[in-house]
């Protein structure tokens, strides 16, 4: 009992440290699985009468992958109704503990779809599914845990005594989820201001850039043996800061920002100012987010070989002068790591995306451009990592599609 209480307090504390919505969702799933020894699980968010899968874990299938690779799961939505297990839980706001998914009584309104077991070769046996419900009774999402394991690694039913603990966990997770959704809403409002000025800055674009950046950083951190606690903290901050990489465009004239043709040299110089305008928005360091967002805004157009912009300037006071020599560019590891990561993520997404002034490049040309820019525009180590985790990055594209 004492160990379970200590576990509850520790999880509450860990959840309250996380600020970003997507990082929180993945960690909620991780903590819940660990708490009741679940081999697998999924977390869904309720949206417009449907449940959208946001993250899925499966330890058994993960162990079959090469080191550093991540499990790729199907992106899908299911209706909130009583025909599926997750839909039933969302519709009724109550949990379900099913000991054998292949022997659900026919009297139940819901059933188990065995399709994913057949495709993956994984057999789902036990499940514990519960709602993420606010104090007002609103269901924000559903958490489903699969295949409880005993100390010998055998698959067993979830214990009834786990249910009160899981419900407390769900309550704590929902509070954290409400806070993170509020933070995401505020970030997207800032980004929408930039979107009004520059149609490229869409919610889908910044979500993809934030997600790409986190995956590249995580792979870099594991390669460089960064402690897990530090990596998780920095992923949380990076996810939000990367979304704000171009927020300085709110300070650029529409005559330049929305110009359909090529910029003149003077116009290009003004366009470059979105980097230090963005840095100034985070000039008063109140948190680690301010410091990292400032570095990213300022330096995400610097190039590995020193040919980028704005260069070695005092971002607090700098004003462009067409007659003055161009500031010397930052190069190599002089460019902050997170800015180097976002630079790669941003260009990748821009090349893959359709814009009013261009069609999306085909995948072969995009990857060729990234590979050819290694050592000039991009950090070569990060390009290597990019190609190692390319399946994960392509999965993110499916998760955050552009709205037509």
Structure tokens at 336: 């902050």
Q: Which tens digit of pLDDT belongs to each residue from 255-306?
A: 887 777 778 888 888 899 999 999 999 988 778 999 999 999 999 999 999 9
What separation in angstroms does the CA of 85 have from each of 19, 130, 238, 247, 257?
30, 10, 35, 42, 49
Strand pairing report for 77-79 and 139-149: unpaired
What separation in angstroms does the CA of 223 have from each of 12, 71, 277, 382, 388?
30, 18, 34, 11, 12
| CB burial of residue 251 (10 Å; 0-12, 13-18, 19+) | middle
Give the whole-angstrom CA distance, residue 86 versus residue 51.
8
Sign of torsion, CA 227 231 233 234?
A: positive
Helix, strand, coil abundance in the chain, percent, nearest 5: 50, 15, 35
- Residue spans in the chain of domains classed CATH 3.30.450.40: 2-180
User: Tens digit of pLDDT per residue, the chain (404 long)?
Assistant: 456 667 767 777 888 889 999 999 999 999 999 989 999 999 999 998 899 999 999 999 999 998 778 989 888 999 999 999 999 999 999 999 999 999 999 999 999 999 989 999 999 999 999 999 998 999 999 999 999 999 999 999 999 988 888 888 888 899 999 999 999 988 888 777 766 656 555 678 999 999 999 999 999 999 999 999 999 999 999 999 999 999 998 888 888 877 777 788 888 888 999 999 999 999 887 789 999 999 999 999 999 999 999 999 999 999 888 788 889 999 999 999 999 999 999 999 999 987 766 788 999 999 999 999 999 999 999 999 999 999 999 999 999 998 75
How does DSSP assign 285-318, residue by residue? --SHHHHHHHHHHHHTT--TTS--SS-S--TTT-
pLDDT for the residue numbered 15: 85
Give the whole-angstrom CA distance, residue 89 versus residue 289.
36
Sign of torsion, CA 308 310 314 315?
A: negative
pLDDT for the residue numbered 37: 94
Alpha helices (H) along 97-227: 115-120, 162-197, 203-223
What separation in angstroms does the CA of 37 have from each of 43, 152, 246, 395?
16, 11, 42, 27
Give the whole-angstrom CA distance, residue 226 versus residue 279.
27
* CATH 3.30.750.24 correct for 2-180: no
Sign of torsion, CA 189 193 194 200?
A: positive
Give the whole-angstrom CA distance, residue 255 versus residue 199.
14
Active site residue 2: no
Strand partners, 45: 52, 141
pLDDT for the residue numbered 208: 95
Other beta carbons within 10 angstroms of residue 173's beta carbon come to 27
Place of tokens 């006071």: 317
pTM: 0.90
What separation in angstroms does the CA of 364 have from each of 167, 251, 351, 371, 400?
48, 35, 11, 11, 21
One CATH from 1.10.3720.10, 1.10.3210.10, 3.40.718.10, 3.30.470.10 for 198-399: 1.10.3210.10
Place of tokens 């790591």: 337
pLDDT for the residue numbered 261: 73
pLDDT for the residue numbered 200: 57
Strand partners, 129: 96, 144
pLDDT for the residue numbered 168: 83
Of the residues 133, 200, 235, 249, only one is catalytic, namely 249
- Residue spans in the chain of domains classed CATH 1.10.3210.10: 198-399
């Amino acid at each position: 009992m004492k160990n379970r209480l200590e576990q509850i307090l520790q999880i509450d504390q860990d959840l309250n440290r996380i600020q970003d919505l997507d990082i929180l969702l993945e960690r909620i799933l991780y903590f819940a699985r660990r708490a009741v020894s679940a081999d697998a699980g999924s977390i869904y968010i309720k949206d417009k009468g449907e449940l959208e899968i946001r993250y899925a874990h499966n330890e058994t299938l993960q162990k079959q992958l090469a080191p550093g690779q991540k499990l790729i799961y199907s992106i899908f939505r299911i209706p909130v109704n009583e025909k599926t297990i997750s839909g039933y839980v969302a519709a009724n706001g109550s949990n379900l503990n099913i000991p054998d998914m292949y022997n659900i009584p026919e009297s139940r309104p819901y059933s188990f779809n065995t399709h994913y077991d057949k495709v993956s070769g994984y057999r789902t046996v036990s499940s514990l599914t519960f709602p993420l419900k606010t104090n007002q009774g609103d269901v924000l999402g559903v958490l489903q845990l699969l295949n409880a394991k005993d100390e010998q690694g055998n698959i067993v039913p979830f214990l009834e005594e786990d249910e009160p603990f899981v419900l407390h966990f769900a309550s704590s997770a929902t509070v954290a989820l409400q806070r993170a959704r509020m933070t995401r809403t505020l970030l997207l409002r800032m980004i929408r201001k930039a979107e009004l000025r520059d149609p490229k800055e869409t919610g889908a674009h910044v979500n993809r850039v934030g997600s790409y950046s986190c995956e590249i950083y995580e792979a870099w951190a594991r390669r460089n043996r960064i402690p897990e606690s530090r990596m998780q903290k920095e992923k949380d901050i990076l996810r939000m800061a990367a979304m704000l990489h171009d927020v300085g465009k709110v300070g650029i004239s529409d005559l330049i920002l929305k110009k359909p043709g090529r910029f003149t040299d003077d116009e290009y110089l003004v366009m470059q100012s979105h980097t230090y305008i963005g840095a100034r928005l985070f000039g008063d360091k109140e948190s680690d987010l301010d410091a990292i967002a400032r570095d990213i805004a300022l330096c995400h157009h610097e190039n590995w070989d020193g040919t980028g912009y704005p260069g070695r300037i005092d971002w607090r006071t700098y004003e462009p002068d067409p007659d003055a020599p161009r500031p010397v560019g930052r190069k190599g590891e002089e460019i902050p790591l997170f800015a180097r990561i976002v630079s790669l993520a941003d260009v990748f997404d821009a090349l893959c995306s359709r814009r009013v002034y261009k069609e999306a490049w085909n995948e072969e040309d995009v990857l060729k451009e990234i590979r050819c820019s290694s050592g000039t525009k991009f950090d070569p180590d990060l390009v290597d990592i990019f190609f190692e985790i390319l399946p994960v990055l392509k999965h993110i594209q499916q998760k955050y599609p552009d709205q037509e």
